[in-house]
Chain A
């Protein structure tokens, strides 16, 4: 199994980017100002019990949240990808926007999202519940949307022409051609996204905003509470439950799904082992499911026939250009207003504070760099070893996948227990958390790269007796580099996000923090300092985007141009 991130485009900074940045400012303002206006909301605190008896129920709640967030992500990413790939005017804007949204730290949205939703649903738990679902959603949706867009905009010409010749309606084309073509990419990205969802579960189920404390029953809050109280037994129990849950989901959901997705492969020849799943076979033989899917098909057909007729009517009605202008104008006014308000909000951050933000940014940059370098240092040799030995990769891939899906945030308290007494312990722990959360992206990509080395090249290297350093220099590095960079981009983004969770922690009743941008974001959210929150969030977005554009992309293109096979 291979995780392959989205192919990167050569992007130049243009007028679109300026617009996007303004829009983004407006967006951040919208979210953060919601928090500002609704400070007087009653809190709803739930007591989380560390008794093991509650674990199954908590696990169920967490799972449900994950599931709902995933469904939301699925619907959003398909719609977003579809629109972006079908509307030529919106396409560059939507894609550039997605590119930046990807680097927005999820947890910066937290105060706004949570408080806004509580304002709408002031009674009971529902506001917080929805908030945590929306947060998980923001953590997993972007790469899925990219994947759908990528598939739909690269639909083979033959398929396009065939659907036109046979006069498929847009909806039929979507249902029978475009969506199936996107399935494989979507399944792989879903797996990655859900793994990322577990990562943020802890932060999204229990948090404080100013003086208020929000808690939701779930595995994440259980683990977090156990960490705060320093209850080792509870930490281990919670961790065990989570791992069991992840393994179970892998077997019951992802395996059948990847096996099923094989159906959507376009290549007519198969190479290498094909994923299989006993569960899938059992499901496919079930009478109830077969009947259900038949009924579903009939239902869908009724809709499509209807829609095809409506379409024809619709085509005759011409669109009103005036309406478009009004909408565009309204949109621009809102964006303009909100971005100026954000500027105003940020302007309240005093100058000396900006110095602090920049220094913190550099500290976090250092930690992120150390984490990424360490990840590469150990995943590169191992990944190459696994990728170049087909027999080992059959055994190792599933193990690596399970390991990768264990959320680093859940292991974090255990690491803290060991390191907290050391000098600079939190700093080391923070780097370790980044490492744990991000090394897998690199490992998967390196394995994929090593597997893509053609057999004849390997043989040639053997005949010319390329060994040791020469073999790495002439054969392995050139083949793996583009993959490595792809993985590193995702990993760096993840590491920045992880800094928010790891530089500022509540542990054994104390609040620990190190100097860093992540700590600044967490701290300002905790204290309800919205100006500082906005300023440091924007700083992080700018840093991540700049590093992506001016470092990784450059490296990626160098690798592609010189070494692509």
Chain B
């Protein structure tokens, strides 16, 4: 019997500007006994929202979460959670932090202390019982986070990107220690759900990986990892799985029975400035052959999550092609990479006009106005019909950055107006 079942989970947030944003849509999966599951997705895919719905911190808009067949109302009694930031109480010592869950359960002091000390010992924090979180390194802090979550002996352990705030070596160390506790069944936890944006981490730890799509978050695919522990990252099998999952993540969104939404302004612009796109395209052009995306990220010493928007942007402008998890530079991309500054602007302009409908629309609006100027709010309000307020602003910022570089239009920070280039701004006329 499944320990946790998530059925038709949809979560919609009401935004302050009266728009509603679908964060996750129609999520279905379950956590079986003895299973380590990873949810993998780009930022904005609603990973954290799913985990909070399972914990009972967020109420589903539609659908339900079941714990051992019973509907979860309020906080889920079977779960415990490790937070990305550890979320320790800075005014409590390590021991007090670990004890807090037991205190809430009403465990008597003596037993509580014994259990907490045992857990501290198990997680490798021996000797730090009386230290305050401030005195610990990031890795040690997260260990306290694990001890605090595990000491209440939860059936389900939820982990919200617990390793992403740590440096590479510390994270690896902690991953292996956790895996050891899990594989050797030294903790009574029955199932673990890990949230991550790192494919490698998911493939290394989990028995099953659920890949999410973003805007809104939907399940794209579930992949079983049948490699026995401990897994070798260099092995061909491992690399092939990572590659496969990568192409699933980057691939076209899954086709659903529902009619596609009207994309009035095309796809959202990735949050990337022009400089990063240009640099990236030049780099790819120099490689002279198809390269594995995952390998490139590693070579650049960047997180896949960080590099992904750059790839998206370069692909949107047709500078690169990413079929099957490999990146190759396109013809126009190569010309762009080798061009000088002025030619680059020219090419960039053409690519934008051909591929970014929202920027085309800005230009149309400006051309239709007699003074060729328009307050920025106008465009932001247009964007708000589709995005949240903060996202609309971010989208506009990117559009301005791209438009400015391509010399398609300019932006006057003081009057907060977008205007067409030929015109001299009001202030300078005098």
Contacts and interface: CB of A to CB of B under 8 A. Distances in A.
A40 interface: no
Interface in A295-318: 298, 301, 304-305, 308-309
Given A264-B90, A264-B91, A301-B109, A161 B101 contact: no
A165 B80 contact: yes
Interface stretch (A113-121, A166-174, A435-443): A166-174
Contact of B91 (A158, A164, A263): A263
A236 interface: no
Interface string B51-63: 0100111000000
A19 interface: no
A268 B90 contact: yes
Contacts of A169: 104
Interface string B143-171: 00000100010000000000000000000
B104 A159 contact: no
B152 A166 contact: yes
Contacts of B56: 164
B87 A164 contact: no
A244 to B, nearest CB: 34
Given A159-B87, A263-B132, A264-B90, A172 B103 contact: yes
A177 B89 contact: yes
Interface in B83-136: 83, 85, 87, 89-92, 100-101, 103-106, 109, 132-134
Given A161-B83, A298-B109, A166 B90 contact: no
A425 interface: no
- Select the residue from B87, B91, B133 with max chain A CB neighbours within 10 A: B91
Contacts of A167: 75, 77, 101, 104-105
A161 B105 CA distance: 17
Contact of B79 (A158, A165, A172): A165
A265 B90 contact: yes
A159 B85 CA distance: 10
Chain A, interface size category, equals 20 to 34
Interface in B26-63: 52, 55-57
A176 interface: yes
A268 B105 contact: no
A133 to B, nearest CB: 31
Nearest to B83: A158
B134 A165 contact: no
B81 interface: yes
Contact of B87 (A161, A176, A270, A305): A161
Contacts of B85: 158
B106 A305 contact: yes
Contacts of A304: 103
Interface in A119-174: 158-159, 161-162, 164-169, 172
Given A158-B83, A298-B109, A301-B109, A165 B89 contact: no
| Chain A interface main SS type | helix
Nearest to A266: B90
A177 B92 CA distance: 10
Nearest to A169: B104
A180 interface: yes
- Select the residue from A167, A265, A301, A308 with max chain B CB neighbours within 10 A: A167
A19 B91 CA distance: 40
A168 B55 CA distance: 15
A308 B91 contact: no
A177 B103 CA distance: 13
A308 B106 contact: yes
A268 B80 CA distance: 24
A161 B104 contact: no
A166 B101 contact: yes
B67 to A, nearest CB: 14
B155 to A, nearest CB: 14
A162 B83 contact: yes
A165 B152 CA distance: 11
Interface residues of B, number: 28
B63 to A, nearest CB: 21
B87 A166 contact: no
Nearest to A167: B104
Nearest to B136: A268
B101 A268 contact: no
A166 B158 CA distance: 13
Nearest to A173: B104
B104 A308 contact: yes
Contact of B104 (A158, A172, A183, A298): A172
A177 B89 CA distance: 7
A162 B81 CA distance: 8
A268 B133 contact: yes
Nearest to A168: B104
Contacts of B152: 166
Nearest to B90: A266
A466 to B, nearest CB: 20
Contacts of B75: 164-165, 167
Contact of A161 (B52, B89, B109): B52
A301 B102 CA distance: 12
Contacts of A166: 80, 100-101, 104, 148, 152
- Select the residue from A165, A169, A183, A304 with max chain B CB neighbours within 10 A: A165
Contacts of B91: 180, 183, 263-264
A30 B331 CA distance: 84
A560 B92 CA distance: 35
A248 B92 CA distance: 31
Nearest to A158: B87
- Select the residue from B52, B105, B134 with max chain A CB neighbours within 10 A: B134
B57 A268 contact: no
A410 B152 CA distance: 58
A180 B85 CA distance: 19
A316 to B, nearest CB: 14
Nearest to B158: A165
Nearest to A172: B104
Contacts of B105: 167
A162 B91 CA distance: 15
A165 B79 CA distance: 8
Contacts of B103: 168, 172, 176, 301, 304
Given A166-B100, A263-B132, A301-B103, A176 B80 contact: no
A176 B92 contact: yes
A460 B106 CA distance: 57
A308 B100 CA distance: 14
Contact of A165 (B57, B90, B92, B133): B57
- Select the residue from B75, B100, B132 with max chain A CB neighbours within 10 A: B100
Contacts of A164: 56-57, 75
Nearest to A269: B134
Interface string A32-74: 0000000000000000000000000000000000000000000
A6 to B, nearest CB: 22
Contacts of A265: 90, 134
Contacts of B104: 166-169, 172, 308
A304 B89 CA distance: 18
A179 to B, nearest CB: 10
Contacts of B133: 268
Q: In the A-B complex, list the 9 residue pairs whose CB atoms are closest, starting with the nearest.
A: A158-B87, A166-B101, A180-B91, A162-B87, A167-B104, A168-B104, A165-B81, A264-B91, A305-B106
Given A162-B81, A308-B104, 19 more contacts: A158-B85, A161-B52, A161-B55, A161-B87, A162-B87, A162-B89, A164-B57, A164-B75, A165-B81, A167-B104, A180-B89, A183-B91, A263-B90, A264-B90, A265-B90, A268-B133, A298-B109, A301-B103, A304-B103
27 contacts: A158-B87, A161-B52, A161-B57, A161-B81, A161-B83, A162-B87, A164-B57, A164-B75, A165-B55, A165-B75, A165-B81, A166-B80, A167-B77, A167-B101, A167-B105, A168-B100, A169-B104, A172-B104, A176-B103, A180-B89, A183-B91, A263-B90, A263-B132, A264-B90, A268-B134, A270-B134, A304-B103
Interface of B: 52, 55-57, 75, 77, 79-81, 83, 85, 87, 89-92, 100-101, 103-106, 109, 132-134, 148, 152
